[in-house]
């Protein structure tokens, strides 16, 4: 952009070829049905959506090639719920987060959201259980995405023999002891491991019952 004598800025390049803001609607899948939503949200992901590898290729290579010639640019990743992630410029990927509508923010402040979820959809793993085999070692990666509440990840019917939290092992299989829960504050992450002793159905929950009752629960279906 260039400044004229009157202070009006005019573009020096074709924005279609070198945009300074790119908005990517990464998904239309969302557990909410907000009347104000301009995205016409649907409950399940479209099979044509980009997977993780294709998305990384787009962000890391193709989009960077089209935008790095600009001194500054902004990429907005949107779709799928309350938060919009904003990153820019291309070199450095400095992220920011923008909250959604006034109604959503009000519910957030009052701690009365429509649902608490695992991976974006309330109770999805109760309807479509995770699969495992008896005697198989299984790892659960957990991130307390928040934006306000942490999580107490608990698996009913077995004990965790491995617990990794915020970059450090707190429990390993070759050490004595066991863990019932992986407790994470907002924005923390980690994983737990266990071996299912026999076939059956093993429930997992966020042990804060407000969260579990509102959708943060699921099931692991274990076969012989």
Q: pLDDT tens digits for 163-190?
A: 999 999 999 999 888 999 999 999 899 9
CB 216 within 8 A of CB 210: no
CB 90 within 8 A of CB 105: no
The reported pLDDT for the residue numbered 139 is 96
The reported pLDDT for the residue numbered 87 is 47
With 60 as the cut, is the pLDDT of residue 8 above it?
A: no
Q: Given the structure tokens 């309350």, which residue do they identify? A: 82
- The CA distances from residue 93 to 74, 82, 85, 196, 200, in Å, are 9, 21, 11, 41, 45
- Max CA separation in the chain (angstroms): 79
pLDDT band at residue 130 using 50, 70 and 90 as cut-offs:
very high
CA nearest to 165, candidates 143, 136, 149: 143
Instruction: Determine if the pTM surpasses 0.85.
Output: no
The reported pLDDT for the residue numbered 38 is 64
The reported pLDDT for the residue numbered 133 is 96
pLDDT band at residue 4 using 50, 70 and 90 as cut-offs:
very low
The reported pLDDT for the residue numbered 220 is 96
Cβ partners under 8 Å of residue 70, min gap 6: 18, 20, 89
80's tokens? 């799928």
Boundaries of every domain in the chain? 2-109, 124-223
Which of the two residues, 79 and 107, has the higher pLDDT score? Answer: 107
The reported pLDDT for the residue numbered 45 is 80
With 60 as the cut, is the pLDDT of residue 39 above it?
A: yes
The CATH number of 124-223, from 2.60.40.420, 1.10.10.10, 2.60.40.3140, 3.40.50.2300, is 2.60.40.420
CB 95 within 8 A of CB 109: no
Summarize pLDDT for 41-89 with one digit per residue, the tens: 777 888 888 877 787 777 665 555 555 554 455 666 666 554 444 444 4
Which of the two residues, 1 and 211, has the higher pLDDT score? Answer: 211
CB 160 within 8 A of CB 177: no
Mean pLDDT of the chain: 78
Summarize pLDDT for 145-161 with one digit per residue, the tens: 877 889 999 999 999 99
Summarize pLDDT for 188-219 with one digit per residue, the tens: 999 999 999 999 999 999 999 999 999 999 99
């Amino acid at each position: 952009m260039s400044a004229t004598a009157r202070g009006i800025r005019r573009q020096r390049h074709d924005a279609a070829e070198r945009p300074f803001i790119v908005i990517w609607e990464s998904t239309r899948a969302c557990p909410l049905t907000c009347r104000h939503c301009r995205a016409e949200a649907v409950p399940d992901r479209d099979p044509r959506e980009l997977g993780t590898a294709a998305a990384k290729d787009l962000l890391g290579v193709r989009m960077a090639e089209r935008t790095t010639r600009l001194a500054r640019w902004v990429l907005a990743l949107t779709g799928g719920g309350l938060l919009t992630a904003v990153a820019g410029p291309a070199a450095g990927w400095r992220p920011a987060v923008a909250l959604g509508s006034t109604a959503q923010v009000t519910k957030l402040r009052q701690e009365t959201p429509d649902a608490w979820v695992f991976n974006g959809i309330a109770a999805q793993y109760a309807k479509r259980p995770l699969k495992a085999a008896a005697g198989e070692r299984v790892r659960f990666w957990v991130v307390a995405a928040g934006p306000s509440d942490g999580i107490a990840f608990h698996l009913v019917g077995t004990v965790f023999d491995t617990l990794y939290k915020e970059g450090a092992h707190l429990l390993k299989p070759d050490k004595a002891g066991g863990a019932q829960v992986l407790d994470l504050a907002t924005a923390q992450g980690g994983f737990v491991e266990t071996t299912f002793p026999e076939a059956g159905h093993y429930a997992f929950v966020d042990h804060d019952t407000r969260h579990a009752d509102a959708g943060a629960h699921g099931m692991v279906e274990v076969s012989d």
